[in-house]
Chain A
């Protein structure tokens, strides 16, 4: 999904980082809800969820970083200025690379924001 086509440009890589964000979001919300619904007095479920959410966040960030790096590469590491509006294959590739890079940045920030509460909230009872 993260790989840009060698010649014929495809839109799929553009959706990579937001897809990771969406999956991370659903997994974190689902895990926290289940862990709190089944909370035990020793809190092992919730503790597992906190560590699990931390691990998921790291994995998601790694995937987004990889996608972002690939996009940066396709864009040309910033050597060419936007808007890449010409009707050529080169410009299409650069435009998609640049757009994917911006989406990777947004997705990374969102994944961090979604994962942060697990760092601070120590109990389910709120």
Chain B
């Protein structure tokens, strides 16, 4: 008895919570249903048109089935059946498919707005390389190229043009809140254009299976007002905040510099992510860990435990004091 009341209460509570869970699933930093960019708005609009249209047709077909199976007892005439097949089986589907095709084709310039006019006047140009399992980001500024990783700073209201490629396997660049997907293909350069309409921090992911840590290959896109963007990009272009000290000495002595660059220091490796301003990024290891001291230490000790298949070797042979120094040094690289 008690358990049945408990079950009922549980069911009632679930009924109350479930729609809320569904609704929160639709918002947030990584949702195509909560668009914050022009292209994503188009995609979301297309989604709602298709969903509502499909629902209307589904209800109509079910209603017809209920009517034919349960309510209407007399058989219909052959002429009526013929008309039903011609109209509902051929004419109406053809018209609906034609309308959807025209609508989809009409949206193409909206979804891939790489027109000459827009290309001539982008708010930001950049190059993104998908690598197992992180994103190499290069800002192509008038003053020169600036390299970063796993975070893209974009200006609100200005078109952003990215060229995309990959040195290893096929990846796919997808920031659901800002735009549709675009593949990064070895030996080929693809392009994507998007315009953020709302300031915020959005999460992007790799949307094409690329190996063990595919699901841990994410990135952060920060959309800020153009003046703020100019300031952040200028900061990004500067050399590192710390260019001497025990941390840097360890970084060089332990071989980190063979793979990582810290501009303004002798560290100039290009295998792994650029760490010049790693301390200013909100996340670590391609948006997998929070960027705090504990996470940095854990990652240095066992990168393969955080990201299986990663090319970075484990540094668990270093004494804890050295790991701590290195992690603190990386955090200071703002």
Contacts and interface: CB of A to CB of B under 8 A. Distances in A.
Given A112-B98, A123-B115, A117 B105 contact: yes
B114 A123 contact: yes
Contact of B101 (A113, A123, A125): A113
B80 interface: no
A116 B114 contact: no
A125 B98 contact: no
Interface residues of A, number: 13
A24 to B, nearest CB: 16
Given A120-B105, A121-B108, A122-B109, A109 B94 contact: yes
Contacts, number: 28
Contacts of A105: 90
A80 interface: no
B112 interface: yes
Nearest to A119: B105
A77 B126 CA distance: 63
B106 A120 contact: yes
Contacts of B138: none
A116 B109 CA distance: 15
Interface in A71-126: 105, 109, 112-113, 116-117, 119-123, 125-126
A125 B191 contact: yes
B283 to A, nearest CB: 32
Interface of A: 105, 109, 112-113, 116-117, 119-123, 125-126
Interface of B: 90, 94, 97-98, 101-102, 105-106, 108-109, 112, 114-115, 191
27 contacts: A105-B90, A109-B94, A112-B98, A113-B97, A113-B98, A113-B101, A116-B101, A116-B102, A116-B105, A117-B105, A119-B105, A120-B102, A120-B105, A120-B106, A120-B108, A120-B109, A121-B105, A121-B108, A122-B109, A122-B115, A123-B114, A123-B115, A125-B114, A125-B191, A126-B108, A126-B112, A126-B114
